[in-house]
Amino acid sequence: MFNLDDYISIVGENEISELRLISEKLRGKSIVNINSTSIGGGVAEILNRMVPLLKDMGVNVRWECIKGGEKFFIITKKFHNALHGKKEQLSKEDFELYLDTVRDNVLSLSLDADILFIHDPQPAALVLERNKYKNRWIWRCHIDLSQRDENLWNFLKPMIEQYDASVFSAPSFTQGLLHRQMLIPPSIDPLSDKNKELPRQTIDEVLSRFKIDAERPIVTQISRFDYLKDPVGVIEAYKLVKQYVNCQLVLAGGSADDDPEGVKVLAEVRQKAGEDPDIHILCLPPTSHIEINALQRASTVILQKSLKEGFGLTVSEALWKGKPVIASSVGGIPLQITHKYSGILTHSIEGTAHWLKQLLQNPEYAKKLGDNGREQVRNNFLLTRHLREYMLLFLSLDHPNETLIYF
Ligand code: UDP
């Protein structure tokens, strides 16, 4: 098991001592995180690492998941899509089923912590029960709300305003709300199985297990099979480039418990890939952290051609491995990539194909982008920074009417 001191070699001693000091001020407070899945997707990825580290610092923190049936998750996936700006049909019955399911969860969850840290829309309605408790509630929104569906937001907003504060990943995601809004981007854990250094032998073993040729360029996108990640667009970009460069494409993903669309998207991806033996579609179990790490490290170029994105942890993961990344300029991706400095930002299939061909043909330039990307992640998107900001947020709840807080 890891502990906070293991991070000294990456971020230095001062940052770690500061974390310990802040954590001492949280002694005596209990915090519960609530989201909708313990596996799959970025939120689970972060909580899986953050919760044990907070515990290691002596913080009284827990993590629970709300439960729901298939219908509930179909509706909340529609919420997710509609908040990202996709047109979805949502009926009065959908809203009622959502509220009923969240209400049912109140009985099985322990909401008696000092701070309720509620992630995303799925469990957001839990706040409707807050009058029964004397605690503080924070809504942590991981979604880009800049083009949210008006109808859905009109339903959610009065609920969100019952929270004491909201947290967003980027300035453009914030909303006109009555309470404090904090900007805290997510992070990756450099010591997790997903991101730690790997011996060459492990990387080669993973490539050979998936029958990927280590001698030819590998272009990769790691993502749940979700329309918003545009895996079909990735195949189209690859096909444009394949005429010039003899590369391979890896599309690796799995499913998340709270995402019912995966099977359909995967079938469309398989159909689009056809019989091309150089397209590797890998459907991985949720524990495949070493495999994903190895695939990212083996890649020549990494793509993230999302149509919409919250933050895009996969971009940070790729940059941290010093890889050149070509990603859509959506959601939190421009926070991570400065165009032509720490990666490439694109807006179309043709643009992605153009830059993919450029980077495959200019390895020195590609390496420079990757090197800069790694430093961008070291300075901004590692777990230690994220822990500091969350702990300060928790402490700030004791000072609701102060604009300047001294700790
Ligand atoms: N991931 C994974 N297995 C998969 C697909 C994705 O472990 O098959 C991980 C990925 O490495 C990243 C997270 O899930 O850590 C996805 O987070 P991101 O913010 O990129 O997207 P989200 O799925 O939350 O929309």
pLDDT score for 405: 76
317 within ligand 1 shell (Cβ under 6 A): yes
At 258, the pLDDT band (50, 70, 90 cuts) reads confident
Residue 232 in domain = yes
Number of domains making up the chain: 2
302 within ligand 1 shell (Cβ under 6 A): no
Q: What confidence tens digit (pLDDT) does each residue in 212-249 have?
A: 999 999 999 999 999 999 999 999 999 999 999 999 99
Once rounded to an integer, what is the mean pLDDT over residues 112-138? Answer: 96
177 shares a domain with 236: no
Residue 405 in domain = no
Cα 336 to ligand 1 centre (Å): 16
Instruction: Report the alpha-carbon distance of residue 194 to residue 216 in Å, rounded.
Output: 24
Residue 71 in domain = yes
284 shares a domain with 160: no
Cα 256 to ligand 1 centre (Å): 9
pLDDT score for 402: 82
293 within ligand 1 shell (Cβ under 6 A): no
392 shares a domain with 371: no
pLDDT score for 260: 83
256 shares a domain with 111: no
163, pLDDT greater than 80: yes
pLDDT score for 226: 93
pLDDT score for 404: 79
pLDDT score for 51: 96
Cα 314 to ligand 1 centre (Å): 6
72 within ligand 1 shell (Cβ under 6 A): no
166, pLDDT greater than 70: yes
161, pLDDT greater than 70: yes
pLDDT score for 130: 95
Residue 402 in domain = no
263 shares a domain with 147: no
46 within ligand 1 shell (Cβ under 6 A): no
CB-neighbour burial class of residue 310 (10 A; exposed 0-12, middle 13-18, buried 19+): buried
254 shares a domain with 234: yes
Residue 249 in domain = yes
Once rounded to an integer, what is the mean pLDDT over residues 16-45? Answer: 95
DSSP state for residue 41 in the 8-state scheme: S
pLDDT score for 303: 98
pLDDT score for 152: 98
306 shares a domain with 213: yes
Instruction: Report the alpha-carbon distance of residue 249 to residue 239 in Å, rounded.
Output: 9
Backbone CA torsion sign across 158, 160, 162, 165: negative
What mean pLDDT value characterizes the chain? 96
229 shares a domain with 183: no
Token pair 């044990």 in the structure block, residue: 52
pLDDT score for 1: 63
Residue 194 in domain = no
Token output for 382: 């590692």
DSSP state for residue 212 in the 8-state scheme: -
DSSP state for residue 206 in the 8-state scheme: H
pLDDT score for 259: 81
Cα 131 to ligand 1 centre (Å): 35
pLDDT score for 406: 76
34 shares a domain with 140: yes
Range of the domain at 285: 200-380
Once rounded to an integer, what is the mean pLDDT over residues 299-312? Answer: 97
pTM (2 d.p.): 0.94
222 within ligand 1 shell (Cβ under 6 A): yes
pLDDT score for 41: 85
Once rounded to an integer, what is the mean pLDDT over residues 188-201? Answer: 97
CATH number at residue 354: 3.40.50.2000
Residue 281 in domain = yes
242 shares a domain with 138: no
102 shares a domain with 217: no
292 shares a domain with 335: yes
Residue 97 in domain = yes
